[in-house]
């Protein structure tokens, strides 16, 4: 069963961008098209939406959702880390507004066949790429071939899990008996590293986050994407980023702060915008969301 994706901070993000009729707006993480639909309505028939996603399935869902919208819609299969060449490849040198929603698409936390979620027993891939090449990194490769110290470092650095060494030790012990092939197997191994069996959130949460970030080079892609976005953003244009954990938010915060110090950008909000109690109640994944916006000057 596919999990319905609910866009986070929808109105706040659109309001922060201050989208005008006729503008060209990039949704760098189009996903299921939740933000894109409202962007289209804002830019109107004279405007253009450029939607990026490296997941072809998500693009097709977005395409269906945007049928009937009056704006020009350009959907591009690619990673937002390559936002500058991807946009220029569509003949666009400058754009007016750019939105990044860095949250994992809720649909990817359902059964995808790629092992993103510890709730399902699927092949241990965790790649966002639709078409896998032989030399593409997967979670299977990391879990089964990386040294114990390397595993621990990944879990600590990208999952911010203090139990990283204990988890890595359990993984290495398990793979000596047989390769860890599925998300279900990995989740069981990680849970086994903890003596307490009752948790508010699964102890596998941080390990799965760490592996997903490592496999997809998410933080590196974010840094490249922010730099590329600034290059193609027109003067007076705005960029908004919704982040969901401290690793992402730190990168965005520092990037925006440096631009502000150099008098190249104006911070629209001194502090990040967060979800209201009502939104958190109706969409719990919005609890950790932070929205930051900057204007190019």
> What is the Cβ-side half-sphere exposure of residue 93, based on CA atoms within 13 angstroms?
1
pLDDT of residue 57: 86
| Dihedral over Cα of 203, 204, 207, 210: its sign | negative
Q: Which residues pair with 95 in a beta bridge?
A: 233
Domain limits, the chain: 10-107+218-296, 113-216
User: Strands 233-243 and 290-296, how do they pair?
Assistant: antiparallel
Q: Does the reported pTM lie above 0.85? A: yes
The owner of tokens 């209201």 is 276
Burial of 82 (0-12, 13-18, 19+ CB in 10 A): middle
Helices (H), the chain: 10-17, 34-43, 56-65, 83-89, 139-145, 148-159, 164-177, 183-191, 205-216, 218-232, 246-261, 277-282
**24-27 β-sheet, strand order:** 72-77, 48-53, 24-27, 95-101, 233-243, 290-296, 265-267
pLDDT in tens for each of the 297 residues of the chain? 445 567 899 999 999 999 999 999 999 999 888 899 999 999 999 999 999 999 888 899 999 999 999 999 999 999 999 999 999 999 999 999 999 999 876 556 667 788 999 999 999 999 988 778 888 999 999 999 999 999 999 999 999 999 999 999 999 999 999 999 999 999 999 999 998 765 677 899 999 999 999 999 999 999 999 999 999 999 999 999 999 999 999 999 999 999 999 999 999 998 999 999 999 999 888 999 999 999 999
Q: Which class would CATH give 10-107+218-296? A: alpha beta
- Which CATH number is 113-216 given? 1.10.150.170
Quick one: DSSP state of residue 74? E
The first and second tokens of residue 232, run together, are: 């193609």
CB 162 within 8 A of CB 199: no
């Amino acid at each position: 069963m596919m999990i319905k994706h609910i866009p986070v901070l929808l109105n706040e993000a659109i309001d922060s961008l201050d989208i005008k009729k006729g503008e060209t707006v990039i949704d760098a993480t189009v996903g299921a098209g939740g933000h894109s639909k409202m962007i289209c309505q804002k830019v109107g028939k004279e405007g253009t939406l450029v939607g990026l996603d490296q997941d072809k399935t998500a693009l097709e869902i977005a395409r269906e959702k945007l049928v009937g919208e009056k704006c020009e819609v350009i959907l591009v299969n690619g990673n937002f880390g390559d936002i500058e060449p991807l946009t220029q490849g569509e003949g666009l040198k400058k754009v007016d507004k750019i939105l990044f929603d860095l949250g994992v698409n809720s649909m990817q936390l359902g059964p995808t066949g790629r092992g993103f979620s510890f709730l399902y027993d699927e092949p241990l891939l965790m790649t966002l790429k639709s078409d896998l090449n032989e030399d593409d990194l997967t979670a299977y490769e990391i879990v089964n071939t990386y040294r114990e110290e390397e595993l621990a470092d990944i879990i600590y650095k990208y999952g911010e899990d203090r139990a990283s060494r204990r988890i890595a030790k359990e993984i290495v012990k398990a793979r000596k008996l047989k390769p860890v092939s599925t998300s279900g197997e990995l989740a069981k191994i990680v849970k086994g590293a903890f003596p307490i069996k009752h948790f508010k959130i699964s102890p596998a949460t941080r390990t799965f986050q760490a592996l997903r970030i490592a496999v997809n080079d998410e933080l590196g892609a974010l840094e490249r994407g922010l730099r590329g976005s600034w290059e193609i953003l027109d003067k007076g244009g705005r960029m908004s980023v919704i982040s969901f954990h401290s690793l992402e938010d730190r990168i965005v915060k520092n990037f925006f702060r440096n631009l502000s110090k150099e008098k190249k950008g104006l911070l629209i909000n001194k502090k990040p915008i967060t979800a209201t109690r009502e939104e958190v109640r109706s969409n719990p994944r919005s609890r950790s969301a932070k929205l930051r916006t900057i204007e190019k000057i």
